[in-house]
Amino acid sequence: MTGYLLDTNIALISLVTPERIPADVQRIMQRETCFLSVISYWEVTLKTMKGKLRVRDPQVWWPQTLERLSVTPLLFRPEHVSAVYTLPPIHQDPFDRALIAQAVAERLTIITTDSVMTQYGVDCLRVS
């Protein structure tokens, strides 16, 4: 598989303040195959439940986000779990580690604002 995996933060920024995404990255997101992981859906749901994120209804957010960003959902499969096991212990965020594992297993480039993700050796397109 080839393409780009949107980090959760990029999906949220793209929906709320798209002007923060540089024009060249916006072009990539419009022209290339992009994925949004079900892990992001899980992260948004849990953070909304804990009051750490303001999303009205994550069950509505997910399909609307897929449609608005024209991205393909990426399921979390057994080979992704295996890839989590092989990652170095750089940081402890389980959502980020799962996304990195998916990118590694699927040979995707992650679009993110997170500088720590670049330390894993996975292809990253970092948005400042």
Domain map of the chain by residue range? 4-126
For the cut 90, the answer to whether the pLDDT of residue 117 exceeds it is yes
Give dist(CA 58, CA 56) in Å, integer: 7
Q: Which residues pair with 37 in a beta bridge?
A: 74
| pTM score | 0.95
Residues of the chain with pLDDT > 90, as a percent, come to 95
CATH hierarchy code of domain 4-126: 3.40.50.1010
pLDDT digits (tens, 9 = 90+) for 70-110: 999 999 999 999 999 999 999 889 999 999 999 999 999 99
pLDDT at 92: 86
Is residue 42 packed enough to be buried (19+ CB in 10 Å), middle (13-18) or exposed (0-12)?
middle
Structure tokens at 28: 């990539």
Query: What is the layout of strands, in order, in the sheet containing 4-6?
Result: 72-74, 34-37, 4-6, 109-112, 124-126
What does each C-alpha distance from 112 to 25, 49, 64, 83, 115 come to in angstroms? 10, 23, 20, 19, 8
Instruction: Give kind and range of the element (H or E) at residue 49.
Output: helix 38-49
Distance of CA 61 to the CA centre of its chain: 15
pLDDT at 128: 86
